[in-house]
Amino acid sequence: MKSEQNFGTRLLTIVKWFILLFFLLVALLPLVWLFINSFRSNLELQISSFGWPQKWLFSNYIKAMEMASLPRLFLNSVITSASAVALNIIVAAMAGFILSREFFKGRDTIYTVLTAGVLVPIIAFMVPYFSLISRSGIYNTLFALILVYASVNIPVSIFLVTSFMRSIPKELEEAAIIDGCSFTQRFTKIIFPLTQSGLVTAGTFCFIYSWNDFIMAMLLTSSIESRTIQLGIKFFSSQFITDYTTMFAAIILTIIPSVGAYMFLHNKIISGLTAGAVKG
């Protein structure tokens, strides 16, 4: 009986670690394979994709940088994502302030309609977005992408920011009103600073969406001046049609900023992303 139980727990431990290791390999092995091969020559790759580089070819990275105008695309992505996040959280914070603090007819309806926007598959709107953006004369500009990214994330941000603001005690503002604080000051001096961690969560969602988006960038831009890095990887994959290992280097270069940021901020990112979900 005792040995049977021992056998059972041991088997369970083996199965448990098998599962954990399997998903560890799934997460890491493809990236490691890509990384190592990005330093090898195309000939080496053709012979076998396993194995170390005979000589570590940093030249692949230099070639990738030159051919794909990566710095420009990278800068475009940074500008677009940062502006979209700023626009998104400012307008969401202002609206959240009203929706969590003021009483007026139709307030709950407005809140419900705004947050129900999460249920809409945005790809269904490709035609109207294209039509709206080109008729406004902002086709092929970073501004178009900023507007779209900030807007598409409104439902998520409104939900996160409003629920966060509701949890801030009203007494704080009542004290401030007695001290002669105006309506706008209540927002700028009290509510906005106190909502910081809610805004960071909303901003993280918006940033990840904006940085990683491919569809809208493909739909709304047409030249290098306003292309983002994601579009860049796709388009330079066709330039490197036979130079695979340089293409690998280019992919690695675009991954580095996200992975680097994640290494430093992983605890914040994970707890931020789950802050909204756990409420459900």
One character per residue 42-71, x = contact with other proteins (rule: CB under 8 A): ---xx-xxx---------------------
The interface with other proteins within residues 177-236 (CB under 8 A) comprises 183-184, 187, 205, 208-209, 211-212, 214-215, 230, 233-234
Q: Which stretch binds other proteins (CB under 8 A): 27-35, 60-68, 137-145, 171-179?
A: 27-35
In three-state secondary structure terms, 38 is coil
Reading the block at residue 59, the tokens are 């030249």
**262 touches other proteins by CB under 8 A:** yes
Shortest reach from residue 247's CB to other proteins, in Å: 8
CA distances from 179 to 172, 175, 176, 184, 273 (A): 11, 6, 5, 14, 37
Q: Which stretch binds other proteins (CB under 8 A): 22-30, 59-67, 172-180, 192-200?
A: 22-30
Shortest reach from residue 262's CB to other proteins, in Å: 5
d(CA 146, CA 148): 6
Q: Which stretch binds other proteins (CB under 8 A): 54-62, 67-75, 127-135, 172-180?
A: 127-135
DSSP conformational letter for 182: -
Reading the block at residue 42, the tokens are 């195309």
Asked if residue 165 lies in contact with residue 97, where contact means CB atoms within 8 angstroms, the answer is yes
Own/partner contacts of 269-273, CB < 8 Å, gap of 24 or more, are 269/204, 272/200, 272/201, 272/204, 273/201, 273/204, 273/205
When the beta carbons of 184 and 223 are compared against other proteins, the nearer one is: 184
Among 65, 74, 151, 176, binds other proteins (CB under 8 A): 151
The interface with other proteins within residues 82-111 (CB under 8 A) comprises 90-92, 94-95, 97-99, 102, 104, 110
